[in-house]
Amino acid sequence: MTVLVTGGAGYIGSHMVLELLEAGEKVIVLDNLSTGFRWAVPENVPLIEGDFGDEALVAGLLKEHDVREIIHFAAKIVVPESVADPLGYYLNNTAKARSLIQCAVEAGVKHFIFSSTAAVYGDPEHSPVSEDERLKPMSPYGRSKLMVEWMLEDVSRAHPMSHVVLRYFNVAGCDPQGRVGQSTPNATHLIKVAVQAALGFRPGMEVFGVDYPTPDGSGVRDYIQVTDLVRAHMDALVHLRKGGESTTCNVGYQRGYSVLEVIDVVKSVSGADFPVKLSPRRPGDVGSVVAANARVKSVLGWRPKHDNLREIIGQALAWERRLHNRKG
């Protein structure tokens, strides 16, 4: 019995692989290494370099390794890129996911865990936002993920494959032991950018929008530490193995921080000051997105351990230093 992790060489997937190994699971990784790294996958884990939409490849793998569960991370995840290239996003995130799900059903895969996103809510009316909020994604990225949520709902009704959809909020931090972390070059995510500015790897940073209807005018987000996030997938696996019903859960701490608050914490934890420019809103950004997390706690029994922004930022700083030294 094997768990297939697609995108297991990427940021979140590589943390998942470590968590599965620690739990004694047998794991294989399928990754095309477009944004992932071979070094991020431990040597004792088979890494198949290929496309999760390649039906012949996937059908062969599922059979050869007796795969019973799939955790599907591999995706394109950059919102502005999805606006410029919607068809690329619908091909990769939606059409190829359909192929993967078809192979899974045909191979008798029992459980499927899917990485979705808070982007399915668009600009939510409520904060915190619950899973029952109206779904109005504002980007091709959000829509490309929502269509897969719907596919899985229909497939689980028609076939004996149950699923959990996890809607991620803003993922940050890294493995506390520093084995893997967010390594994407040119990442645009707030904590990564602020940490690079603190370490002098970039001259400064911008705050995109200080006129949102939030306490200090800057955007508010729910920053979830990556090992807490992958633990929700372990909880989902246990839930499904016990015969639990298919479900969709937010994964976040139900606590929001503004951009200006995050920058203050980065300055305080790093002890470094850096220039911060107040700039206009970034197109497509929304004011406040904070997870309601009652469901992931009650249905999956999720218990976060790293709900501490200073700790998350400390991890991000340590990882960024390590990455910089590795590049030499």
Strands 27-31 vs 47-49: parallel, antiparallel or unpaired? parallel
Which of 89, 121, 141, 257 is flagged as catalytic? 141
**Nearest Cα residue to 95 out of 49, 59, 54:** 54
Decide whether 165 or 190 has the Cβ nearer to ligand UDP. 190
219 part of the interface to ligand UDP, by CB under 6 A: yes
Contact partners, residue 327, CB within 8 Å, separation at least 6: none
Classify the C-alpha dihedral 32-160-244-116 as positive or negative. positive
Tell me how far apart the alpha carbons of residues 192 and 273 are, in angstroms, rounded to a whole number. Answer: 15
Contact with ligand UDP (CB under 6 A) among 81, 85, 153, 206: 206
136 part of the interface to ligand UDP, by CB under 6 A: no
Neighbours of 200 (CB within 10 A): 10
**Nearest Cα residue to 89 out of 144, 51, 142, 35:** 144
Shortest separation between residue 167's beta carbon and ligand UDP, angstroms: 12
**The 3-state secondary structure of 195-227, one letter per residue:** HHHHCCCCCCEEEECCCCCCCCCCCEECEEEHH
208 part of the interface to ligand UDP, by CB under 6 A: yes
Decide whether 206 or 311 has the Cβ nearer to ligand UDP. 206
Q: Active-site residue 257, yes or no?
A: no
Q: Select the span of 59-67, 142-150, 178-186, 201-209 touching ligand UDP (CB under 6 A).
A: 201-209
285 part of the interface to ligand UDP, by CB under 6 A: yes
282 part of the interface to ligand UDP, by CB under 6 A: yes
Shortest separation between residue 122's beta carbon and ligand UDP, angstroms: 12
Residues 149-178 that bind ligand UDP (CB under 6 A): 170
193 part of the interface to ligand UDP, by CB under 6 A: yes
Decide whether 53 or 287 has the Cβ nearer to ligand UDP. 287
266 part of the interface to ligand UDP, by CB under 6 A: no
Contact with ligand UDP (CB under 6 A) among 190, 226, 240, 300: 190
Upstream peptide bond of 137 is cis (omega within 30 degrees of 0): no
Q: Select the span of 58-66, 126-134, 199-207, 290-298 touching ligand UDP (CB under 6 A).
A: 199-207
Site residue total, ligand UDP (CB under 6 A): 15
Which residue is at the shortest CB distance from ligand UDP? 219
Say how many residues make up the chain: 328
Contact 70, 112 (CB under 8 A): yes
Tell me how far apart the alpha carbons of residues 129 and 262 are, in angstroms, rounded to a whole number. Answer: 21
92 part of the interface to ligand UDP, by CB under 6 A: no
- Quick check: helix, strand or coil at residue 31? strand
Tell me the backbone φ, ψ of residue 311, rounded to 5 degrees: -65, -45
**Nearest Cα residue to 236 out of 98, 142, 116, 134:** 116
Q: Write out the E strands in 24-177.
A: 27-31, 47-49, 67-72, 111-117, 162-168, 170-172
Q: Select the span of 51-59, 96-104, 152-160, 203-211 touching ligand UDP (CB under 6 A).
A: 203-211
71 part of the interface to ligand UDP, by CB under 6 A: no
225 part of the interface to ligand UDP, by CB under 6 A: no
Beta bridge partners of 117: 168
Q: Select the span of 47-55, 189-197, 230-238, 267-275 touching ligand UDP (CB under 6 A).
A: 189-197
Residues that bind ligand UDP (CB under 6 A): 170, 188-190, 193, 205-209, 219, 221, 259, 282, 285
- Tell me the catalytic residues: 141
